Amino acid sequence: MRLKTRVFAVSVLAAFSSMAAGAAYAAPAPRRPAAARPASAADFQQALISPETLLQQLKEPAAQRPVVFQVGFDFLYRGAHIPGAIFTGPGSTAAGIAALRRAAARIPRTREVVIYCGCCPMEKCPNIHPAFAALAGMGFRHLKVLNLPDDFAHDWVEKGYPVVKGSNPR
């Protein structure tokens, strides 16, 4: 019995020694830059921008305006969208996130970017959080979310803010 215990103990020690030796030679995991850290709920809350603030920013010269992405469904974009908004597809789909990343790849990370969906109450929106996480993960430092508590129709269109209708989303 003692011999079996010693053999087992030696086997366990040998296994741990080889794992430790292997770990010593393993390459360290790459560190993510601070700007590319995952977005938190607090980051999202701090990124909210009111429709009134965005409306004022859209009146600025073109070079000073934020880049605006509509990350909702194409029928919403065709129905009415913010002038100059770029349609990328729903943030809840892999294709929509891929299109958003492609479109955002050309934009300097220091430029202000505003995303919005407006399909439903923001707390239930399937598109806005994945889109926010994707852009935050790309390192955008001035990322904003248009605060549409109810939906785009109530919080933008019915207030008489400018819209473009019927455009081809792609």
- The answer to the question of residue 72 being in a domain is yes
Count of domains for the chain: 1
Q: Give the angle subtended at the CA of 80 by the CAs of 168 and 75, to the nearest 5°.
A: 60
Query: Containing H/E element for 42?
Result: helix 41-47
Containing domain of residue 140, as a range? Answer: 36-159
- The CA distance from 98 to 88, in Å, is 8
166 belongs to a structural domain: no
Q: For residue 19, is it within any domain?
A: no
**CATH number, residue 68:** 3.40.250.10
pLDDT digits (tens, 9 = 90+) for 12-52: 334 333 333 443 333 333 333 333 445 688 889 999 999 99
In this structure, is residue 136 part of a structural domain?
A: yes
Q: Please name every residue paired with 145 in a beta bridge, in sequence order, or none if there are none.
A: 48, 115
In a domain, 134, yes or no: yes
Tell me which residue of 51, 96, 43, 105 sits closest to 72, measured CA to CA: 96
Q: What is the pLDDT of residues 90-105, one digit of tens each?
A: 999 999 999 999 999 9
- Mean pLDDT, the chain, rounded, equals 82
Q: Kindly state whether residue 16 falls inside one of the protein's structural domains.
A: no
Residue 76 lies in a domain: yes
